[in-house]
Amino acid sequence: MKINQASGLRIPAFDTGLRTAAFALVAAPLLCLAQSAPQQRTDGTAIIASPIVRAQQVCIQTEAAFILNHDRAKATQGFLNATQIDAHYAPAWFNLGVLAEGDKSWTKAAADFRQYLSLQASGTDADRARTQLQLLSKYINGSVTPDAARNMEYDASIQRARAFLVHGYYRESIAEAGRAESLDASRWEAYAVVSLCMTKQNKPQEAAKFEVLAVNHAPVSKRDQVRAALSPPESTLAK
């Protein structure tokens, strides 16, 4: 069963090429900061935003547009604009690194992640940046086998799907799970994500179908655990 077909939704491939859940995870705190920033004084006059606030706003607009149009070139230009407004705004550099990875510009991606770490060595995404740098070194050195690359792509798609799920972007989560399935239909994680998305959308029959697929594709030693994680409590079913 193909995820995109069985979901009942018309979903684009959403093949962004991103290897982390950066956009979903970085966007959430930025949105909170932007919403809390006052746009007018109490006397009604406009406040001139500082460079960091303007850079932040550009990043938010770029992230929102990217989720809708999946245009990496426009997103790259948007984040570059943010760095030109304030070169010390670290999240823009992180997202540039994510996009460069998606374009397989390994050296550029590594440089962007290093720039992020130079600005926020203990920032929210510092651990992810360091992890990506370790992976990038293997790509740059040509030491990644095709099987290893496919497994990393699968894991990255699942990370993105889970991040979208957490933030309520079910359409995007299902699309990312579909991308993971297209890479390796023998693994269980993609089916589990779709099952959870269907449960969140109150579609119990579809959720049950994908729960069965997830359980059947999971290692025997994990099947009970997967089943328990995907099965809603009896109190929920009774409602």
Interatomic CA distance for residues 53 and 43, integer angstroms: 21
Q: Please tell me the predicted confidence (pLDDT) of residue 41.
A: 55
- Domain assignment of residue 178, yes or no: yes
Q: What is the pLDDT of residues 63-120, one digit of tens each?
A: 888 877 778 899 999 999 999 999 999 999 999 998 898 788 999 999 999 999 999 9
Residue 20 — φ and ψ, nearest 5°?
A: -135, 175
Taking the model in full, what pTM does it have?
A: 0.61
Q: Which of 141, 156, 183 is the last residue of a domain?
A: 141
**Is residue 27 predicted with pLDDT exceeding 70?**
no
Domain match, 132 and 222 both: no
Q: Which of 90, 113, 141 is the last residue of a domain?
A: 141
What is the domain range of residue 206?
A: 3-12+146-237
Domain match, 8 and 31 both: no
Q: Which amino acid is at 178?
A: G
Domain match, 28 and 134 both: yes
Read off the pLDDT band of 20 (50, 70, 90).
very low
Domain match, 95 and 108 both: yes
Q: How many domains does the chain have?
A: 2
Q: What is the pLDDT of residues 159-212, one digit of tens each?
A: 888 888 888 889 989 999 999 999 999 999 999 999 999 999 999 999 999 999
